Amino acid sequence: MRILITAGPTREPLDPVRFISNRSTGKMGFALAQAAQARGHEVTLIAGPVTLPTPDGVTRVDIETALQMLDAVECHLPAHEVYISCAAVADWRPAVYSPTKLKKAGMDGTIQLVRNPDILKTVRPLKDNKLFVGFAAETGVPDAEATRKLNEKGLDFIVANDVTAPGAGFATDTNRVTLLYPNGTREDLPLASKLEIATAIISRIEQLRSVTDC
């Protein structure tokens, strides 16, 4: 299969030296790319600003902002059967970008923000029979919020986790996730390395594809 994966944070610049971003390191998305490639899939990895090496055999596209990530997803999605949206896309960006460094004296302590587009929702019309998988990083029990996102974004399943749980979250090498499906099925995966979790997610995708293909 051809699998498109987004990973890492996006970075929303205010001026050439300042930006809004989040704590995502890209580890889960890069593990997915590595696991998918190891299973023999063709992988395109759209990455926000992270310091990770590109997994062998993976085609990487680097972007910085949410709008650039949206452009890259719209460009690459048609050539893929699966889209895994693992990126921590910034929900907001500064309304105005200053091409020169903003001076403290000229700022009044407020930054006006505008909403970034929801990439999954924007590309939903391109879904056809592609498989879409999303992530929901929550604080606390993720189920209710993750189920809302699963339905709202029209996903085939969502990978939910509590980023405050021991061994889970952004900069760790391990994760503990729950897979939630539109029919209400849930599957708790035990605490494991991000690569093991990624391999389990890719195998669920393979199972779903083989059912759809019959």
The residues annotated with a catalytic role in the active site are: 22
Query: Which one, 102 or 153, has the nearer CB to ligand C5P?
Result: 153
Rounded to a whole number of angstroms, the minimum distance from the CB of residue 154 to ligand C5P is: 11
Nearer to ligand C5P by Cβ, of 117 and 166: the residue is: 117
Nearer to ligand C5P, 32 or 87 (CB): 87
Instruction: Report the interface residues with ligand C5P, using CB under 6 A.
Output: 66, 85, 87, 89, 91, 116, 118-120, 134-136, 149, 153
Question: Shortest Cβ distance from residue 172 to ligand C5P (Å)?
Answer: 18
DSSP string, the chain: -EEEEEESB--EESSSS-EE--S--SHHHHHHHHHHHHTT-EEEEEE-S--PPPPTT-EEEE--SHHHHHHHHHHHGGG-SEEEE--B--SEEESS--SSPPPGGG--S---EEEPP-HHHHTGGG-TT-EEEEEEEESS--HHHHHHHHHHTT-SEEEEEETTSTT-SSS-SEE--EEE-TTS-EEEPPSEEHHHHHHHHHHHHHHHHHHHH-
Is 43 or 66 the residue whose CB approaches ligand C5P more closely? 66
Minimum distance of ligand C5P from residue 104's CB (angstroms):
30
Q: Measured from the CB of residue 9, what is the shortest distance to ligand C5P in angstroms?
A: 11
